[in-house]
């Protein structure tokens, strides 16, 4: 192709890249991950419910979250490297870890709260910024665990506070999902909060012949409520994802 024609094509390609919608990668655990919907399956990750909220032409939501992963295993399995390799200037990355990092009985997943966990978070933040993108941290969502006295119990130990400390020192926008989802659970009451999660009689769904009582993962309703809370957090913070909502 003559050089006279190459330059306009290159300029057009650069312009298309500049005008492309930003990408919003979601990195985290099973509460955020996409769940298969090939057959009736109420289990839904909050990331799976998020694309229904922003305008389709405003941002492209890409869920990299995976069941059972903590910050260490997400990095060691090469999942994080794929996220970074695809980042473009102007992208935003939401990172929520802490659910599984505290599992000391799983050496490949465990990350000491004031050690590897915080080190991993700082690395994620640093590498997102190096790619010209913006990091956003999110505290882990609350579980539905009630005491005999009817109080919602915290189940993540010091991990939410350790994440808050990293966000503060590194000056990273922080989605306070731990606190707002705890309020969501309380607002639904002990019995009503079952609707947010997976509580079904045996045989209700073919995949569960026995009764299901899962207080960690979300139903479609629960995921949609938590996704909406995440969007409200971006509005509170005034970060650009807030402007993408319809």
Give the C-alpha separation, 106 to 209, whole Å.
28
Q: Is 2 among the domain residues?
A: no
Q: Is 202 among the domain residues?
A: yes
The neighbour count for residue 179, using CB atoms within 10 Å, is 14
Q: Is 15 among the domain residues?
A: no
**Are 119 and 75 contacting, i.e. CB atoms less than 8 angstroms apart?**
no
CATH number, domain of 94, equals 3.40.50.1110
**Are 212 and 228 contacting, i.e. CB atoms less than 8 angstroms apart?**
no
pLDDT tens track for 1-15:
555 444 443 333 333
Percent of the chain clearing pLDDT 70 (strictly above): 90
Give the C-alpha separation, 48 to 36, whole Å.
10
DSSP for 130-168, please give it: HTT-EEEEEPPPPP--B-TTS-BPP-STTHHHHHHHHHH
Mean pLDDT of 64-71: 98
- The whole domain housing 173 covers 22-244
How many separate domains does the chain show?
A: 1
Q: What is the pLDDT of residue 14?
A: 36
Q: What is the pLDDT of residue 167?
A: 98
**pTM to 2 decimals?**
0.90
pLDDT tens track for 166-179:
999 999 999 999 99
Largest CA distance in the chain: 79
What are the counts of helices (DSSP H) followed by strands (DSSP E) for the chain?
8, 7
pLDDT tens track for 93-152:
999 999 999 999 999 999 999 999 999 999 999 999 999 999 999 999 999 999 999 999
């Amino acid at each position: 192709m003559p050089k006279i024609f190459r330059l306009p094509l290159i300029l057009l390609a650069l312009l298309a890249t500049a005008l492309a919608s930003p990408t919003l990668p979601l990195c985290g655990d099973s509460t955020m991950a996409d769940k298969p919907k090939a057959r009736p399956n109420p289990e839904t990750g909050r990331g799976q419910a998020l694309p229904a909220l922003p305008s389709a032409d405003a941002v492209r939501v890409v869920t990299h979250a995976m069941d059972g992963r903590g910050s260490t295993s997400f990095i060691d399995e090469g999942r994080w490297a794929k996220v970074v390799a695809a980042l473009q200037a102007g992208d935003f990355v939401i990172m929520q870890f802490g659910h599984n990092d505290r599992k000391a009985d799983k050496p490949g997943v465990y990350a000491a709260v004031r050690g590897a966990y915080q080190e991993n978070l700082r690395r994620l933040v640093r590498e997102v910024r190096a790619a010209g993108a913006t990091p956003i941290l999110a505290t882990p969502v609350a579980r539905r665990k009630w005491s005999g006295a009817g109080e919602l119990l915290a189940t993540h130990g010091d991990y939410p506070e350790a994440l808050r400390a990293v966000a503060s020192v590194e000056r990273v926008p922080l989605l306070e999902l731990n606190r707002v989802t705890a309020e969501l659970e309380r607002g639904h009451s002990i019995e009503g909060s079952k609707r947010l999660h997976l509580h079904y009689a045996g045989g209700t769904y073919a995949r569960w012949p026995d009764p299901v009582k899962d207080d960690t993962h979300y139903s479609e309703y629960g995921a949609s409520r938590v996704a909406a809370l995440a969007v409200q957090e971006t509005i509170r913070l005034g970060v650009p994802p807030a402007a993408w909502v319809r």
